[in-house]
Structure 1
Amino acid sequence: MVREFELPDVGEGVAEGELVSWLVAEGDAVSEDKPVAEVETDKALVEVPAPVDGTVRELHVEEGDIVPVGTVIISFDVEGEDSSPTEAGGDATSEDDVAEAPTEPDRAETGDPGATGADTESVAPPDDRVFAPPRVRRMAREQGIVLSTIQGSGPGGRITAADVQAATGGGAVDDPAQDQSRTPASASGGATSGPADSSDASASADTAAGASTDRATAASSPQHSETPARTESADRDTTLAAPATRRLAAEEDVDIDAVPATEERDGEAFVTPEAVREYADRQRRAQEADAEAVAAGEPVGTTGAGFAEGERERRESFRGVRKRIADAMVESKYSAPHVTHHDEVDVTELVAARSDLKPRAEERGIRLTYMPFIMKAVIAALKEHPEMNAVIDEENEEIVYRDYYNIGVATATDVGLMVPVVDDADRKGLLQLSSEMNELVQKARDRTIGPDELRGSTFTITNIGGIGGEYATPILNYPEAGILAVGEIKRKPRVVTDETGAESIEPRSVMTLSLSFDHRLIDGAVGAQFTNTVMEYLENPSLLLLE
């Protein structure tokens, strides 16, 4: 029996995701809960598990595709059940089936669950089955090649892009993606024979693919001139690329819309990591040549250093995490009237306490920062001022007071701001808070954090001091009632009163606090009182032992 699997709702509010990479190939045996694909949503990079034990029948989408939730992405032949595909069914039959299998005596009935609308394959395909991935099928259609007439050279008789190219007479085909698919699936031990450019680990496959693409393009395009020392930018408005490729472009300080594409996906240019590296290398070499020319007093060209000649602006797709952040900011600012209360706190004793405990924490393999202390102080203040831990249920016109404390820690990542959540923080000690927080923050930065770890917070803390800031006006992580921004700890002169009442000016460690709150629920006096309580615990860290 054939089981079709739809892209699940992998997180609250997620409507679509980018299929970053396939972790299985057609014909692979899988077990239930084994990861079959990596999908990047507007919140995180998540692995999608197989829902059944069986064999991968067909991959319905390709790496790099943007897939709405509910779309069939993969189908399985369930183990121990009839896997005969339905290939007759009127509109359900794809044009590949019409071209490749005009006569087939063993066709299943139209109503059979195997009517998936495409040619299929199993672990041991019979002689009259065509064994080829979706990209090769599309390539064959574009070239007018009947796949059933080609002898596959890939593993298990799989038809590769090289086989299709050979069937056309050895010339390059129109789809420049063909050369990239020459990398056999067996080389990666489980990836499809489609492009393998969605992670840094596949750079070697991309190198071979990029090289063969360049040769094919040169052979099929007589008008193509030799690559100049300075590579011209592609000047596109839209570019498809895997997240790892975009990160590489950012690291190389390259505009990904300017990188010449080596293939296309659904009519849009698709850029591989190797293309980014090659473009960045050529730009560097061109700039070095310019520098040498300037030193020699020779004229230097002006194009290719940034924007293309005549280009004054560029466009990028507004989606993914950045779009989600924007939507959340707009919802927060337009829903809750924000007020921000500022103050500063003497944390000299806290600095000393943390210095004493830090070596002990390191002995246990834990990096102890100031954040766990701040979290404990905030929780103590939330218990004294429950309004700050409350939320407005606008639909029912009720205030919901929460007797649990899930603390969100705002984290800057290469794709934007994320808020990992430490659940039940009031029940955990300093070292456990530190360990869990460090792990969640790292997972957020690595884009491996799960959707469940990014929701459910009751209050958020954001550290602006890490980049040298003191004060801020943080925006609420709506619908929460409050968010606290902590600034950089600096040494400042302060008036200190001793036990006898004598005053003196001493250098002290001072940290700034910026508390934003929902003025519909929190009055200014409550906001100030909450801040004072936080300050009391930070000034006297020994009080945290009572929490």
Structure 2
Amino acid sequence: MPIIEFKMPKMGESISEATIINWTKNVGDYIEAEETLLEVATDKVDSEVPSPVSGTITEIRFQKDVVVEVGTVLALIDSNGKQEPRSKSQEIITANVESQPEVTKPSNIEFKQVRTNPDAFLSPLIISIAQKENLSVEEVQSIPGSGLDGRIQKSDVFNYLKNRKYPLQSKPISENRQPTTFPKPKINFIEGKDRIVEMDRMRKMIADHMVYSKQTSPHVTSYLEADVTNLVNWRNENKDKFQQKYGEKLTFTPIFIDAVAKAIQDFPLINVSVDEDKIIVHKDINIGMATALPTGNLIVSVVKKANEKDIVSIAKEVNQLAQNARNNKLKPEDIQGSTFTISNVGTFGSLMGTPIINQPEVAILALGIIKKRPEVITTEKGDEIAIRSMMFLSLSFDHRVVDGFLGGSFLKRVGDNLEQFSTNIKI
């Protein structure tokens, strides 16, 4: 009887595990080849996984919300299984089996007696999970790591929590907060008027990520006002020709990405990440762009190696990523690997913003709405009042590694690139 192993597929270059969202079939069900059998999530992207063969599901090894590593056998499929109507007794038996709680193998390790490894590296993600689960430093360091060189991975922590019986008593991984006597404010809920909305999975992830970022990086925000009149005029003159020639809409976003990528080349220390007391300088300039989804959530898709692309290539990629985001068709690799992020808050009519850094980056740029207003400008005739298109830029940066000089100089260079953009590009 040919039994086929259905394994967790590799969802992207840097993806080592995924969370099971939903099985579309139950044990005993027949499934066609290429029919969706499983829905999984990696970061904020949900993906459908098809069955490799036609057959009957004989075993499902992992249930909903379990984090599983790539390559792990998830289910078994009898490829000789014929599609037959299931009797009522079979349905009852299957339902009873599936309703049983998942049986986990008892752990042979008594965590209370496990010796800790003080040199174990704890990534920001592991620390975030430890804070949420109230694990101590020693307890996390006692977890055997399955990663490269024994590195502790997310799945290792979840497996430990599943079998945890004797927590080590020690100093917890905390945010170094002092105890407070201030009571938690009471929320007044009026029955019949107010309503409760449960956060969806993506909103919970966004909330955790934002809180973690504020706890990790001391945020400083600098502001700059740029005169983008020439840029606006250039786009208005060329957007129709651009679409006719290249078949793509020319929005402001590709222009912003181009200006930022060029500025990063001049100030490479803004394109870094922090790993404890080490600064990792990234060679590739991968620009993330925050995109609003129809659900109201936000996702950051990434234009890889933006400094190596011209405005036409960037425009095509931006349009494709934005369309995929709106249609929920982004791939895991589309939201991985950003080294700097921009957020166009002007799209929503905001004058400016104070964005939160997208970890593990060290800076994020918000671009406000472009507004026409009278400005004093210097001409050959002297000072004059003219109608100009003005825009605020606001850069939030991690003051651990980016000081005011670097942050201000980089922001000024982005502004200069935007003001001079129209002189560099021709359609």
**Is 1:539 matched up with 2:419?**
yes
Residue pair 1:322, 1:415 contacting (<8 A) in 2 also:
no
Write the mapping of 1:225-236 to structure 2, written as runs, cut at 5 A: none
Please state whether the residue corresponding to 1:512 is helix, strand or coil.
strand
Counterpart residue number, 1:516 = 396
Q: List alignment gaps of at least 5 residues for structure 1.
A: 84-121, 125-129, 144-307
Matched position secondary structure for 1:460: strand
Check the 8 A contact 2:261/2:285 in 1, yes or no: yes
Query: Do the aligned partners of 1:42 and 1:322 also contact (CA within 8 Å) in 2?
Result: no
Q: How does 1:16-27 map to 2 (within 5 A)?
A: 16-19=19-22, 21=24, 26-27=29-30
| Distance verdict in 2 for CA 1:492–1:13, change over 3 Å | farther
233, 252, 267: which one pairs with 1:352?
Answer: 233
Map 1:205-216; keep pairs closer than 5 Å.
none
Instruction: Report the counterpart of residue 211 of structure 2 in structure 1.
Output: 330
What is the aligned partner in structure 2 of residue 280 from structure 1? none
Q: Percent identity?
A: 36
Larger Cα Rg: Structure 1 or Structure 2? 1
Which of residues 301, 313, 319 in structure 2 aligns to 1:438?
Answer: 319
Cα shift readout 1:391-417 (whole Å, capped 9, x = no counterpart): 1122xx321112211110001111511
How far 1:426 sits from its partner (Å)? 1.2
SS at match of 2:285: coil
Residue number among 71, 78, 86 corresponding to 1:132 in the alignment: 86
In structure 2, relative to structure 1, the CA distance for the partners of 1:373 and 1:443 (3 Å cut) is same
What letter corresponds to residue 22 of structure 2 in structure 1? L
Greater length-normalized contact order (CA 8 Å, ≥ 6 residues apart)? 2
Provide the secondary structure at the position in 2 that maps to 1:341: strand
1:24-81 deviation digits (Å, cap 9, x = unpaired): x9444526xx75444455512212144x5x33321767xx954543686542235xxx
Equivalent in the alignment of 2:157: none
Match of 1:367 in 2: 249
Q: Does 1:424 align with 2:424?
A: no
Q: CA deviation at 1:425?
A: 1.1
Q: Which amino acid aligns with 1:48?
A: V
Q: Alpha carbons of 1:332 and 1:44: their partners in 2 closer, same or farther (altered >3 Å)?
A: same
After superposition, the Cα gap between the structure-2 partners of 1:35 and 1:499, relative to the gap in structure 1 and judged at 3 Å, is farther
Q: Which runs of 5+ in 2 are unaligned?
A: 97-188
1:35 and 1:49 in contact (8 A); partners too: yes
Give the count of matched residue pairs. 325
Q: Which whole-Å CA distance do the structure 2 matches of 1:316 and 1:4 have between them?
A: 39
1:9-88 mapped onto 2 (5 Å cutoff): 10=11, 12=15, 16-19=19-22, 21=24, 26-30=29-33, 36-40=37-41, 43-50=44-51, 52=52, 54-58=53-57, 66-69=65-68, 74-78=75-79
Measure how far apart 1:325 and its partner are.
Answer: 0.6
Partners of 2:31 and 2:57 within 8 A in 1: no
Output the CA distance in 2 between the equivalents of 1:14 and 1:142.
28
Cα distance between partner residues in 1 of 2:89 and 2:393: 59
SS of 2:341 mapped into structure 1: strand
Q: Aligned to 2:262, which of 380, 394, 410?
A: 380
Deviation of the 1:483 alpha carbon: 0.5
Corresponding letter in the other structure for 2:409: Q
TM-score by length of 1: 0.54
- 1:463 equivalenced with 2:344 (yes/no): yes
With normalisation by structure 2, the TM-score equals: 0.68
Indicate whether 1:486 and 2:367 are aligned: yes
- Alignment match, 1:495: 376
User: How far apart are the structure 2 equivalents of 1:378 and 1:543?
Assistant: 17
Please tell me whether the aligned partners of residues 352 and 392 of structure 2 are also in contact (alpha carbons under 8 angstroms).
yes
What SS does the corresponding residue of 2:377 show, helix, strand or coil? strand
When residues 66 and 507 of structure 1 are mapped into structure 2, their CA distance, relative to the original with a 3 A threshold, is same
Distance of aligned partners of 1:37 and 1:318 in 2 relative to their CA distance in 1, 3 Å threshold: same
User: 1:322-357: per-residue Cα shift (whole Å, max 9, x none)?
Assistant: 111111111111111110001110000000111122
Q: Give 3-state SS (helix, strand or coil) of 2:401's partner.
A: coil
Q: Name the structure with the higher strand share.
A: 2
Asked if structure 1 preserves the Cα contact closer than 8 Å seen for 2:19 and 2:40, the reply is no
